[in-house]
Chain A
Amino acid sequence: MALSSRTKKILDRLTASLRGQIFLCNLDAGITSGLIDAGSVYRVLKTVKARDVTRMHDSDLLGHLKALLQHPSANLMLRNDRTAHFSDFACGEPLVTTMRREDFDAFYAHSADLIGGHAFAVRTVGSSTVRFRPSATTNPVVWVAPRRCFVSRTIVQSDAEAVRDTLGLVHHGKRVPLVAMHFQPPSDSCFRPTAIEAMPNPRFRQNDPLAVGELRWGATVNLDLLDVASSGASVAGMPELALSRVGINTCSNVEFFDLGETKTDRDTYTTDMKFLERLLNAATIDVIVARLEGHLTI
């Protein structure tokens, strides 16, 4: 089966931008490691309209692809991974996920608490609450890291910059107030994240599921290390997994911590380049695209 011209054009459009190239590298790694089904990806790409491929803005095309890949029609199977085990990952400790403070206030916080008493305007870094809105649910995909892997409890309770960097959340720029949610979800339903869930995070990299030890999970990219590390040095941050949407009131040991604000912006063109070089690993993007075309043709 030959690759359709439309799919080729989509690959060309993605190749034209740095973020598109990062996505292609991870898509290729996901298909190669058997985590993503190439046939399903091909069928999803074929549903993109020809005029959208040529006319859409880069971000719109990436967003469109994200929506289509994350919500495939029922007969498509994009994910082959069935091997992640949440209990091994967390080892009885809570998981950690982060959100912007605005999101916490609007969708998770107990509103009456936020405006209750005289100190409604005062925020204290490191303060925590175990109260939340009873109807609160997470986003459709929740990225989690095990709390046991953080060097110190203080970091994951009061240091927005360190948590952002360790978890590779490059989209949170400078002076973004963050809140960490520590929790234990009700079930073991979790999965290894792929390029499809990671879109558009430009610091995601697909790990080999057959690797041993902590590397068998996903591993975040430590943004601080990436900025200073030489090309061969490790930039591994935390082990990571993804969960499907979960109601907060079904979780146990839930606690929200005000982490304060991030101090720097790590989202730069230079670090995009640096990260892409690591993903390419001395190959060129043409080699990756050719391999991807091979996957999608089969």
Chain B
Amino acid sequence: MKIDEKQIGTFVRFSSARISDWILDGLTTWARDEFADAFYPHSFINLFDHPVEGLEALYGASTQKTKRAIRSAVLRLGAVCRRDCREHSNLTDEERTTLQFTFLRLAESSLCFEASNIIASMACEDAPLWEDKAFGKELAAACIRCLGNMAINHEKSSFWRPALAGPIEAALLRFVTSSPYFEPRMSPFLLAALVSVSPEKLSDHLTLCGDGITELHRQEPEQRALAHLTALAIVSKAPLSLFRNFSSLDFRYRDSKDRWLVEALFATAGPLQLRWYGNDPTKPLVSPKGRPKQVITLRHDDWIGFQPESTIDLQVPAHDSKALSQLAAGRVSVQNFFHNAAVGRQVVH
């Protein structure tokens, strides 16, 4: 389904409040299944498989003013589907669930950062209240996925302001510290999300999520081989913080708390490479893979006991950086990437 300009023009003439009312009434009516045509008179929404898809299409094609109105409707929808909403206290569990997942989907696709508080409250306060614990867990995971994706993709929104980083970061931290549904498996995702919105606090985020990642590696050893993906996220989102705070990392021993990160950074598929010059093992040169001329000295005493997976790339194949960026964009499989990256590389230990 495609929305034409004439239809978009209709919404330009309406006030924000009117658009917002139409969306909120439409979604609640649709969830309650009260009337056949919940989105009347703008019934084109019914032509999509799901109303959310229609609203997303409208959002994508709209003017900034209409987008603002849709975002305000998303915020109001979030308040409506909280369990303590008095105005809509008569929603059945099924209707509330439908609205909650609809809200999460709309908040994520429109990158409605202002909804971060509501989402955190939904995950930390509402989810544990469900009698069905499996559902509570499901809702909490969906909330954190939505928050994390908003944080990771924030740069794609024209509505992003640095001032919004604080509330999102607080919402993510609230989940880690107070939700009964937080699992070590979620740590890499949360770290990537936190680093995306507040890269300057990398060391704090590592302190918070590092234990979870170490625990994850202990529970699922196969995850260790994928840690370079988290390292990639850190290097792409917070390179300055990483290099600035590198001296404070602790990676001397196998069980040191930041060992996993340094191993992942310099893994075969990791984003960085090391070179050793002279006799001082505490001062290696580091450069991004594929850009050997871009170097920085990373002084650290823990290098003495560290043997990374690959140390010197004598000749870095040109396709490496392309493969890394493709992988970061999710376009190739990890297996394919490993295979391609191994071809033509000469590793000296």
Kindly identify which residue among A110, A117, A134 contacts B216, using a CB–CB cutoff of 8 Å: A117
A64 near B134 with CB under 8 A, answer no
Tell me how far the C-beta of B172 lies from the nearest C-beta in chain A, rounded to whole angstroms. Answer: 12
Q: Give the complex CA separation of A71 and B183 in angstroms.
A: 43
Kindly identify which residue among B43, B49, B145, B188 contacts A139, using a CB–CB cutoff of 8 Å: B49
Inter-chain pairs besides A59-B44, A118-B223, A122-B333, 9 sampled, C-beta below 8 Å: A59-B47, A63-B45, A63-B47, A66-B43, A66-B46, A67-B40, A106-B108, A111-B145, A139-B49
A122 near B327 with CB under 8 A, answer yes
Pairs of residues from A and B, 10 with the lowest C-beta to C-beta distance, nearest first: A63-B43, A111-B141, A71-B36, A67-B37, A63-B46, A118-B226, A59-B44, A64-B43, A116-B185, A106-B105
Q: Interface code B71-99, partner A: CB below 8 Å = 1, 0 otherwise?
A: 00000000000000000000000000100
Assess whether A171 is interfacial by the CB under 8 Å rule. yes
Kindly identify which residue among B1, B36, B330, B335 contacts A123, using a CB–CB cutoff of 8 Å: B330
29 CB contacts below 8 A, A to B, read A56-B43, A57-B6, A57-B10, A59-B4, A59-B43, A60-B44, A62-B47, A63-B44, A66-B43, A67-B36, A68-B37, A102-B105, A102-B109, A103-B53, A110-B138, A112-B138, A112-B183, A115-B186, A117-B220, A118-B188, A118-B226, A119-B229, A120-B188, A121-B192, A121-B229, A122-B229, A133-B142, A139-B50, A173-B2
Total chain B interface residues with beta-carbon distance under 8 A: 60
Q: Give the complex CA separation of A78 and B108 in angstroms.
A: 38
Kindly identify which residue among B137, B192, B223, B333 contacts A112, using a CB–CB cutoff of 8 Å: B137
Assess whether A70 is interfacial by the CB under 8 Å rule. yes
Q: Interface code B320-349, partner A: CB below 8 Å = 1, 0 otherwise?
A: 000000011010011100000000000000
Contacts of A119 in B (CB 8 A): 226, 229, 334
Of residues 46 through 76 on chain A, the ones whose CB sits less than 8 Å from some CB of chain B are: 52, 56-57, 59-64, 66-68, 70-72
Kindly identify which residue among B1, B52, B101, B189 contacts A120, using a CB–CB cutoff of 8 Å: B189
Q: Give the complex CA separation of A71 and B41 in angstroms.
A: 16
Assess whether A100 is interfacial by the CB under 8 Å rule. yes
Assess whether A289 is interfacial by the CB under 8 Å rule. no
Contacts of A127 in B (CB 8 A): 333
Contacts of B330 in A (CB 8 A): 121-123
Q: Give the complex CA separation of A120 and B226 in angstroms.
A: 10
* Known contacts A59-B47, A66-B46; A115/B144 CB under 8 A: yes
Assess whether A11 is interfacial by the CB under 8 Å rule. no
Contacts of B7 in A (CB 8 A): 57, 59-60
Tell me how far the C-beta of A33 lies from the nearest C-beta in chain B, rounded to whole angstroms. Answer: 25
For A65, the closest partner residue in chain B by CB is B43
Contact surface of A with B, Cβ cutoff 8 Å:
52, 56-57, 59-64, 66-68, 70-72, 99-100, 102-103, 106-107, 110-112, 114-125, 127, 133-135, 139, 171, 173, 199-200, 267
Tell me how far the C-beta of A141 lies from the nearest C-beta in chain B, rounded to whole angstroms. Answer: 9
For B331, the closest partner residue in chain A by CB is A123
Q: Give the complex CA separation of A65 and B39 in angstroms.
A: 12
Q: How many A-B residue pairs have CB under 8 A?
A: 143
Q: Give the complex CA separation of A100 and B1 in angstroms.
A: 13
Of residues 26 through 85 on chain B, the ones whose CB sits less than 8 Å from some CB of chain A are: 36-47, 49-50, 52-53, 56
Tell me how far the C-beta of A27 lies from the nearest C-beta in chain B, rounded to whole angstroms. Answer: 16
Assess whether B148 is interfacial by the CB under 8 Å rule. yes
A67 near B189 with CB under 8 A, answer no
Q: Give the complex CA separation of A60 and B186 in angstroms.
A: 43
Assess whether B276 is interfacial by the CB under 8 Å rule. no
Q: Give the complex CA separation of A119 and B134 in angstroms.
A: 24
Assess whether B253 is interfacial by the CB under 8 Å rule. no
For B226, the closest partner residue in chain A by CB is A118
Q: Give the complex CA separation of A122 and B331 in angstroms.
A: 7
Contacts of B56 in A (CB 8 A): 102
Assess whether B135 is interfacial by the CB under 8 Å rule. yes
Of B44, B135, B148, chain A has the most CB atoms within 10 Å of the CB of B44
Tell me how far the C-beta of A57 lies from the nearest C-beta in chain B, rounded to whole angstroms. Answer: 6
Tell me how far the C-beta of A220 lies from the nearest C-beta in chain B, rounded to whole angstroms. Answer: 16
Tell me how far the C-beta of B188 lies from the nearest C-beta in chain A, rounded to whole angstroms. Answer: 5
Contacts of A133 in B (CB 8 A): 138, 142
For A141, the closest partner residue in chain B by CB is B49
